[in-house]
Structure 1
Amino acid sequence: VVVKEERKRSPDLRFRDSDLVNMGIDINHKHDRKVRRTEPKSQDVYLRLLVKLYRFLARRTSSKFNSIVLKRLFMSRINRPPISLARITRFMKKPGREGRIAVVVGSVTDDQRIYEVPKLTVCALHVTEKARARILKAGGEIITFDQLALKAPTGKNTVLMQGRRNAREAVKHFGPAPGVPHSHTKPYVRSKGRKFERARGRRKSCGYKK
């Protein structure tokens, strides 16, 4: 009896085309989503009612004003900085802005540096007590955003304005590292004493004096 010996075949390490078809490709999904707010983080019911109103207006009107107001209603408090009465007055004094409504998606604060407040119509999320008193004393008017939606549903005869976002003290520390040429970035210093940020480059006895 002749016994046939079967040779053990070495496993084929090469892929066949059919194997490649069945394999998946690992896609990096970290860039898939758009990082922007589609609703406010705040759970304030009054703010959310305004969002509902301006979402409707932005959808149903072709006005850019409503979509900007809606976007600003979503923003964080840092990106909705307060605006002073002086800044509002300066903006409203520009030619062609007489009788228009100043619109601020944020707070309006008083400014003691201006002595006379002109007659203004202001629409804002919040107006401080002193600013409110001065606007009303000058014969002006303060309206809410739901009243503005009835008065100017497309933003006609309005001036949209906002405070300076970079006015925060924290922003002074952002930018090129302190000490780098042409950098005006404020360093983080634990103390303003004699020994801190006052050595090399700040005195003759330590290297050089700038």
Structure 2
Amino acid sequence: MVQQEKEDDHLYKHLGADQHLPGTLAPPTSNRGGAILGVDIRHKDRKVGRKEPKSQDIYLRLLVKLYRFLARRANSTFNQVVLKRLFMSRTNRPPLSLSRMIRKMKLPGRENKTAVVVGTITDDVRVQEVPKLKVCALRVSSRGRSRILKAGGKILTFDQLALDPPKGCGTVLLSGPRKGREVYRHFGKAPGTPHSHTKPYVRSKGQKFECARGLRASRGYKN
């Protein structure tokens, strides 16, 4: 069968797209602008990790080019981790609040080190005093930027960081809470089952809307 298909492909090249020999397979067609139909890949052997970012942002792609070189040539795990995080989707690069960053940088042994965040740093109005910080991030919100600079801190971009310590010496890699999104509260055991703390999808809160559903027989059912 495979040999027959190879011979048919060879004949299509000589005959053109419009004509084919009788008794041979017709060229593959599709309703979507002449695109060839899907290929049955060996899904068990396929690696699904990203090799490049989905984003077409030219500045992000230049950073990928830079850190791909550093990950290959500089003997440092730091550059490999940064490169991997540059590939990630936005849901896997959650924003890091100013308060969490201050708390992490106050840990012993992290004085005078640079906080590196492959993502966004946002302001936190609950923080009254901001210490002097040296920060590197893809983006810093306007209010967070002004508060860091007002405290005498410094904000670097990733190309500036690559010039200062190419191997990532004197840095602390931080990231935001990846499971901090509200959608994660709905994941887990079914709402109402014993020992479940999963948040149900309800239209509204009130006396008429799934009050103690699954906990009492009078409210739908009891587990």
Same topology, TM > 0.5:
yes
**Residue 206 (structure 1) shift:** 5.1
In the superposition, the TM-score normalised over structure 1's length comes to 0.82
Distance 1:117 1:169 in 2: 28
Distance 1:61 1:97 in 2: 23
The one-letter code matched in structure 2 to 1:192 is: K
In structure 2, the partner of 1:139 is 152
SS across alignment from 2:91? coil
Distance 1:70 1:33 in 2: 21
Distance 2:49 2:193 in 1: 33
Query: In the alignment, is residue 117 of structure 1 matched against residue 130 of structure 2?
Result: yes
Aligned pair in 2 of structure 1 residues 158, 206: CA closer, same or farther (>3 Å)? closer
Distance 2:149 2:41 in 1: 57
**Residue 200 (structure 1) shift:** 5.1
Distance 2:218 2:88 in 1: 50
Query: In the alignment, is residue 56 of structure 1 matched against residue 69 of structure 2?
Result: yes
**Residue 170 (structure 1) shift:** 0.6
Q: CA RMSD in A?
A: 2.1
In structure 2, the partner of 1:191 is 204
Matched ranges for 1:1-210 at <5 A = 29-198=42-211
Please identify the structure whose Cα radius of gyration is greater: 1
SS across alignment from 1:185? coil
The one-letter code matched in structure 1 to 2:151 is: A
Aligned pair in 2 of structure 1 residues 137, 34: CA closer, same or farther (>3 Å)? same
Task: Report runs of 4+ in structure 1 exceeding 3 Å deviation.
Answer: 199-210
1:170-204 Cα deviation digits (max 9, x unpaired): 11111111122211111111222322211655669
In the superposition, the TM-score normalised over structure 2's length comes to 0.77
> Any unmatched runs of 5+ in structure 1?
1-26
1:39-85 Cα deviation digits (max 9, x unpaired): 00000000000000000000011211100000000000000000011
